[in-house]
């Protein structure tokens, strides 16, 4: 089925060929614009459209067999919903007349186009703020941990220096006392000798 056949298939329900063509164009345009901007378009029971990043890679040229470098790219992806899968696989039977039994959207989700867009934008902004706060918290925690490590290392170094000074101080007075006593003995010996 191509686009013209799709328009013909829904023309009776839309009240004419032109309104059906306009509806198909509007739906496809909305899906393409949303996917290009990176949003995910999900239709309950039918499926979802999304943008997927493919990393750079090496591929093989089937004609020559040589290795070819393929650049990084983005591609659209469609994933069928469970209702669609069940109908295609035969688990559920397709109704003869009428509409396919795809789950209907919940009440209130289709009303207020601008309000719905504003809500989506608000949700995205809130999610972005939460992500930013989480990243800032991680940075702050990492900075505090680094500062704590530096402080601990500085305390250890200071404690080692203090211990070294104390031990040096304990050893030094003992040498000084010994040095002072020795000249006193010599002097007293000399004085005695001179007196004789």
Q: DSSP readout, 61-110? A: -TTT--EEEE--EEEEEEEE-HHHHHHHHTSSPPPSSS---PPPPPTTSS
pLDDT at 179: 46
Burial class (CB in 10 A: 0-12, 13-18, 19+), 35: buried
Each residue's pLDDT expressed in tens, for the chain with a length of 196 residues: 999 999 999 999 899 999 999 999 999 999 999 999 999 999 998 999 999 999 999 999 999 999 999 999 999 999 999 999 999 998 888 877 666 655 555 666 555 444 454 455 555 555 555 555 655 556 666 666 666 666 666 566 666 666 666 665 555 544 444 444 555 555 555 555 555 5
pLDDT at 172: 52
pTM, 2 dp:
0.49
Type and span of the H or E element at 181: helix 113-195
pLDDT at 93: 86
Q: What is the rounded distance in angstroms from the CA atom of residue 6 to the CA atom of residue 13?
A: 12
Q: What is the rounded distance in angstroms from the CA atom of residue 177 to the CA atom of residue 38?
A: 85
Helices 3-14, 17-36: inter-axial angle, 10-degree rounding:
120
pLDDT at 21: 95
Per-residue CA distances from 114 to 110, 180, 184 (Å): 11, 97, 103
């Amino acid at each position: 089925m191509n686009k013209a056949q799709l328009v013909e298939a829904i023309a009776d329900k839309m009240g004419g060929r032109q309104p059906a063509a306009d509806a198909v164009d509007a739906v496809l345009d909305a899906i393409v614009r949303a996917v290009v901007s990176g949003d995910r378009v999900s239709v309950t029971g039918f499926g979802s459209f999304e943008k997927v990043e493919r990393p750079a890679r090496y591929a093989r040229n089937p004609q020559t067999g040589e290795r070819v470098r393929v650049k990084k790219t983005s591609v659209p992806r469609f994933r069928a919903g469970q209702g669609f899968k069940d109908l295609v696989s035969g688990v559920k039977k397709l109704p003869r007349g009428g509409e396919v039994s795809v789950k209907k959207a919940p009440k209130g989700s289709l009303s207020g186009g601008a309000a719905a867009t504003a809500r989506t934008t608000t949700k995205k902004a809130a999610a972005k703020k939460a992500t930013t706060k989480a990243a800032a918290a991680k940075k702050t925690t990492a900075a505090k941990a680094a500062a704590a490590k530096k402080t601990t290392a500085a305390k250890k170094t200071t404690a080692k220096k203090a211990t070294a000074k104390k031990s040096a101080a304990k050893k030094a007075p003992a040498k000084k006392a010994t040095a002072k006593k020795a000249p006193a003995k010599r002097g007293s010996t000399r004085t005695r000798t001179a007196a004789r």
